[in-house]
Chains A and B, each alone.
Chain A
Amino acid sequence: MRRRGLYFILALLLILVVMLLGLQVGSFDTDVATIFSALFHYNPDDTTHFAILHLRLPRLILALVVGASLAFCGYLMQAMVNNGLADPYLLGTASGASLGAVIVFFGFVPMTVAGLYLPPVFALAGAFVVTLVVVMLGYRKRQIIPAQLLLAGIALSSLVTAMVGLLTFLSDSEGKLRSVVFWSMGSFERASWEMVPYPAAALSIALLLFAFYQKQLNILLLGEERAQALGIRVAQTRWVILATVSVVTGFAVATSGPIGFVGLIIPHVTRGLLGATGRGNLLLCAFIGGLFMLLCDLLSRIIYPPAGLPIGIITSFFGVPFFVYLLFRKNYNFRG
């Protein structure tokens, strides 16, 4: 019990520290004093203040929210299919979002309609459409069959990725290719105060919802039959998980692109720290996911200024060694 509290406080503190560091990195030279004066004595004519408050801060919050969303959804998916290999993109969200964005970038629809910038909108739509098809394929007799869902997700993702590949191959301009590369590896550069509320609201509602579902989730890990016997409505729980994951991942991907690995690795880290069925696992998982993403964003901007490396590259580079460490740790069991 004490340990859990400690982890939460530690995660929260680290998040604050990394955010403070992140606020200092950018084209305008900034020290801690400037940050505090920007936060508490904001001067709209000072461009450095403006950059801190309107460019850096929303970017960091978006990274935090997206990292938390992906880790949280990864945890849910792994619990639902009872398999440690699952990640939030299992439902085809990532490939669907890429296809949606690429359709706009390649000029099949205009970039903006009535003042609305369409790539994120189409990414969200693409994510939902592909998820819907995957769920339909993974569904039999009013029940989700996890193994079938997994296979459907993999097959459909491959198909959609091939469609993105075809469009990319046929592309006639280098600029479009760059957009696709950036889109397929993720970036927080578009973050703004107008954008942040959507993924943040989706995540908050989901976290609140699963404060009540945590018990069901843990019982689900015992396997379908035992869960039924213990009075859990397995089918219903699965639907709730599916709906949550597709909405929360959809918003994360639509704002920042499909950032890999976070949703796979952070749930394992969480269980490694608190055990497979700890209370508060989901919330801590979201915290660690957010912290990890903030760190990756900071690194990406320090290593390769000014634009930063695509964030997906960093998450894999720093995530994989840690994952390997977990693999070889004796007392950690990778199942669900």
Chain B
Amino acid sequence: MLLLSCGPQEKQAQEALVLTDDLGRELTLQKKPERVFAFASSITEMLYAVLDTSTIVARTPSDDYPEAVYQKPLVSNYPVDYEQVLALKPDLIFTVEGITPLEVAERLQQLGVPVYYQKYRTVEDIFTGIEDIGRIMGREQQARHLTDSLRQEVEQLHQKYKHREDPLKVLAITWSDPIYVYGQNTIFTDKLRILGAENAVQEVFEQPYPALTREYVLKLNPDVLLGGTKKELEEKFFHLYPELRRIKAYQHNRLYKPDDNLMSRPSPRVVESLRELEGFLYP
């Protein structure tokens, strides 16, 4: 995923550094980046886990973890406040595919600030993403140390659950009117695989978070429904769609509320997210 221009070039080009990001975009940096921040809260968490915190120069309104992030100056990422970004003099901005529009990245590039995109489909992709950041920032060891221990924990979980017969079918909703859910092509599916369960949505839709009908959910008939506490789901979901009280998850009272940030952020806390899901699936 990361291509540092190496060989003879690297010696003479103390100043010029060429990176290729996950979208295949080529970025040229004048020097090794020393002032960075992220437009995505998940990467902000990665930066804090891997970097010397003095190299992180800003936070966005959605950043809330770790606590220390609140000491950094606030910069608006939606819409992007270009002047504020330039005033912070970053060498590089990290972001995730889908969070920052490409034209915003191009504009920043013209203004002299390269934007590095990451994208993830699996839990493993998160770890390679962390290692990429480590390499770009000259913190390979710290990154490797972190990913080694995370991988080990994931492997332990997988070993524990991989042979389960009759895997639980899990549906996670992100919004109830209309019904939007975590689709097949999200990391959520991989998290469930690790835990020996499966995403109730097997069909692959174009969008990662497809809209479904009541009938579709009725047909999926999930064993477990994630999206809110029993009370919240009763009020916001089953009250609106009383027909769905027929699904197994409702009948067997298997309704749970996962932490929004743990669910949605592909961050180093992914193991924490797995442990949370484990608690719901196998109480």
Contact B219 A28 (CB under 8 A): yes
Distance to closest chain A CB from B208 (angstroms): 12
Instruction: Tell me the chain A residues, 49-88 only, with Cβ under 8 Å from chain B.
Output: 50-51, 54-56
Instruction: Tell me the chain A residues, 107-139 only, with Cβ under 8 Å from chain B.
Output: 111-112, 115, 117, 119
Which residues on A sit within 8 Å (CB–CB) of B215?
26-28, 51, 55-56, 306
B252 contacts partner chain A, Cβ-Cβ < 8 Å: no
User: Can you list 6 A-B contacts (CB < 8 A)?
Assistant: A27-B216, A112-B235, A179-B175, A189-B214, A307-B178, A307-B212
Which residues on A sit within 8 Å (CB–CB) of B148?
none
One of B7-15, B121-129, B192-200, B240-248 contacting the partner: B240-248
Instruction: Tell me the chain B residues, 11-56 only, with Cβ under 8 Å from chain A.
Output: none
- Given A56-B215, A112-B236, A112-B239, 13 other A-B contacts at CB below 8 A? A27-B213, A27-B215, A27-B216, A47-B246, A51-B215, A51-B218, A55-B213, A111-B236, A117-B240, A119-B177, A178-B175, A187-B178, A306-B215
Q: Which 3 A-B pairs have the closest CB atoms?
A: A175-B175, A307-B211, A306-B216
Contact with B along A285-313 (1 / 0, CB 8 A): 00000000000000000000011100000
Cα of A55 to Cα of B240 in the assembled complex, Å:
13
B174 contacts partner chain A, Cβ-Cβ < 8 Å: yes
Which residues on B sit within 8 Å (CB–CB) of A47?
218-219, 221, 246
Contact B218 A55 (CB under 8 A): yes
Distance to closest chain B CB from A334 (angstroms): 37
Cα of A187 to Cα of B214 in the assembled complex, Å:
13
Contact with A along B202-240 (1 / 0, CB 8 A): 000000001111111011010000000000000110011
- Cβ-defined partner of A178 (8 Å) among B178, B212, B243: B178
B280 contacts partner chain A, Cβ-Cβ < 8 Å: no
Contact with A along B105-131 (1 / 0, CB 8 A): 000000000000000000000000000
A182 contacts partner chain B, Cβ-Cβ < 8 Å: yes
A192 contacts partner chain B, Cβ-Cβ < 8 Å: yes
Which residues on B sit within 8 Å (CB–CB) of A55?
213-215, 218, 243
Contact A115 B239 (CB under 8 A): yes
Cα of A117 to Cα of B235 in the assembled complex, Å:
9
Which residues on A sit within 8 Å (CB–CB) of B242?
192
Contact A307 B177 (CB under 8 A): no
Which residues on B sit within 8 Å (CB–CB) of A117?
239-240
A226 contacts partner chain B, Cβ-Cβ < 8 Å: no
Cα of A308 to Cα of B215 in the assembled complex, Å:
12
Distance to closest chain B CB from A103 (angstroms): 14
Contact B243 A179 (CB under 8 A): no
Contact A307 B235 (CB under 8 A): no
Which residues on A sit within 8 Å (CB–CB) of B212?
306-307
- Cβ-defined partner of B243 (8 Å) among A26, A54, A308: A54
Residue of B nearest to A112 (CB): B235
Which residues on B sit within 8 Å (CB–CB) of A233?
none
Cα of A111 to Cα of B236 in the assembled complex, Å:
7
Cα of A26 to Cα of B217 in the assembled complex, Å:
11
Count of chain A residues near B, Cβ 8 A: 26
Which residues on A sit within 8 Å (CB–CB) of B180?
175, 178
With A178-B180, A179-B175 known to touch, is A192 a contact of B216 (CB < 8 Å)? no
Which residues on A sit within 8 Å (CB–CB) of B214?
55, 189
Cα of A306 to Cα of B213 in the assembled complex, Å:
6
Which residues on B sit within 8 Å (CB–CB) of A27?
213, 215-216, 218-219
Distance to closest chain A CB from B226 (angstroms): 15
Most buried by B among A51, A105, A112, A308: A51
Distance to closest chain A CB from B44 (angstroms): 18
Cα of A51 to Cα of B220 in the assembled complex, Å:
13
Which residues on A sit within 8 Å (CB–CB) of B240?
117, 190
Which residues on A sit within 8 Å (CB–CB) of B219?
27-28, 47, 51
Cα of A56 to Cα of B218 in the assembled complex, Å:
13
Contact with B along A243-262 (1 / 0, CB 8 A): 00000000000000000000
Instruction: Tell me the chain B residues, 145-180 only, with Cβ under 8 Å from chain A.
Output: 174-175, 177-180
Residue of B nearest to A117 (CB): B240
Cα of A308 to Cα of B216 in the assembled complex, Å:
12
Cα of A50 to Cα of B243 in the assembled complex, Å:
9
Contact with B along A162-180 (1 / 0, CB 8 A): 0000000000000100110
Which residues on A sit within 8 Å (CB–CB) of B210?
307
Distance to closest chain A CB from B239 (angstroms): 6
Cα of A28 to Cα of B211 in the assembled complex, Å:
17
Cα of A56 to Cα of B219 in the assembled complex, Å:
14
